[in-house]
Amino acid sequence: MSNSSRLGGIAVAMANRNYRVYTYGAIPSLLGTWIQRMAMGWLAWELTKSGTWLGLVAFADLAPTVLTAPIAGAFADRVNRLRMVRIVQYANILQASALAYFSLSGLMTIELLFCLALIQGATQGVHQPFRQSLIGTIVTREEITSAIGINSTIWNTSRLIGPAISAVIIIHFGVGITFLVNALSYVPMLISLYMINVKQELKAQKSLADVPGEILEGIRYAANHTFIGPLLILLFAFSFFGRATAELLPGFTGAVFGRGADGLAVLTGAAGFGSLFSGIWLSRRGRLTGLSDILIVIVAFIAVFQLAFVSTDIFWVSVIAFTGWGFMLNGSGIIIQSLIQANVPNEIRGRVVSLYGMLWLGVPAVGAFAMGAAADFVGFRPPVAVGAGVILIAFLWALPRRHRFREEIAKMAGDQQKNGE
């Protein structure tokens, strides 16, 4: 069997030169992101020992996406996506450098950390629709599932390795150095972005007054679509009530399991390890057919593993449960993004994928804040257990809709064959 046969859809996507260059540049950047994310959560816990503040910092890191992503999505259909992704990398370097300066100088406070997390969240909210619509511009429909799966695999490999590196740096050199490492990690990404050539047909220039109407156009398109609308409802359910759990890990590590930064690295890495395998599996699988049935099953398993995670006092049992949780949660995100990207026309792509980013990145922040605040009164376990129950309800809601999902995917596959893609 040839290497390309063994790699399946991965080889198809990586044969695309622009996508290959982009991917290689993203590897150090994503590693640095996870080094910094773990360090910010741990620093928030160390400064306050408060579930509320932990939830607030997670909220600040993710919630601005709810506001900035739809606006950025409208502009992603108006302006050069590649140029904007470059600009965001420069902003990321400045934000990480500020975190490093205030931490290394001893001037960091929880309020300042919150503000810098807010800046990071706003930048990420701008970056997401431009980045994802850029990928949709670079690759074909045939390559999209593999491309998204490869990105997820790199993201989750970084989530596996990054926290471990972060823990070593924190223990031996202090938390400030982690932020400095992240600032440097954006340089290879910038270099790769200047090596990419992308043709994007821009819309005719319109007044800025048209932006709200364009955002509403994207929302209406998604809400009225027989396939994308239900997918976004499912995404909301497991983002708010499932993905938010990951933002509370510093509190779980310290308050529930009585462990330090090393324990946080193990739990974060466990979710990354599970996510890594779902990313590889879906990348190799490549095709769209059958994805909706897989999605419905794994939504149920998100709830099962989440309940298992909060039901044990044994740390290593929780690690195993969180590995399974990471596999299921990441797989569901890849599938939903793949199906949306394959369905949406390029002229409205930025606005629709911004809704995906808003739900995948912004909604967990609201969930983390609510769960973190509740944890100060009832502990960390009950809010997460209730969240698992809501995800099970979402699974039961989606189950009778599986036939409609299959029909939509079959229609896409027919269109793909007709167009010779």
The answer to whether the pTM exceeds 0.75 is no
Give the separation between CA 175 and CA 186, rounded to whole angstroms: 19
**Side-chain-side CA neighbours of residue 17 (13 Å):** 4
Give the separation between CA 274 and CA 320, rounded to whole angstroms: 9
Question: Does residue 39 lie within any of the structural domains?
Answer: yes
Question: Does residue 3 lie within any of the structural domains?
Answer: no
User: What CATH code is carried by the domain that includes residue 229?
Assistant: 1.20.1250.20
Give the separation between CA 127 and CA 215, rounded to whole angstroms: 17
pLDDT of 420 reads 46
Cα-flanking dihedrals φ and ψ of residue 288, to 5°?
-85, -30
pLDDT of 83 reads 87
Question: Does residue 202 lie within any of the structural domains?
Answer: no
Question: Does residue 273 lie within any of the structural domains?
Answer: yes
pLDDT of 253 reads 79
pLDDT of 167 reads 83
Binned average pLDDT, 10 residues per bin, the chain of 421 residues: 52 81 90 88 83 77 76 78 89 94 91 91 83 79 75 75 84 90 93 83 64 83 84 89 82 78 81 82 73 88 92 88 91 85 78 81 78 81 89 91 75 54 46
Number of neighbouring beta carbons within 10 Å of residue 382: 14
Owning domain of residue 56:
9-192+207-418
Question: Does residue 61 lie within any of the structural domains?
Answer: yes
Question: Does residue 19 lie within any of the structural domains?
Answer: yes
Sequence-ordered list of residues with C-beta below 8 angstroms from that of 1, at least 6 positions apart, any chain: none
Question: Does residue 2 lie within any of the structural domains?
Answer: no
pLDDT of 202 reads 59
Number of domains in the chain: 1
pLDDT of 89 reads 92
Question: Does residue 99 lie within any of the structural domains?
Answer: yes
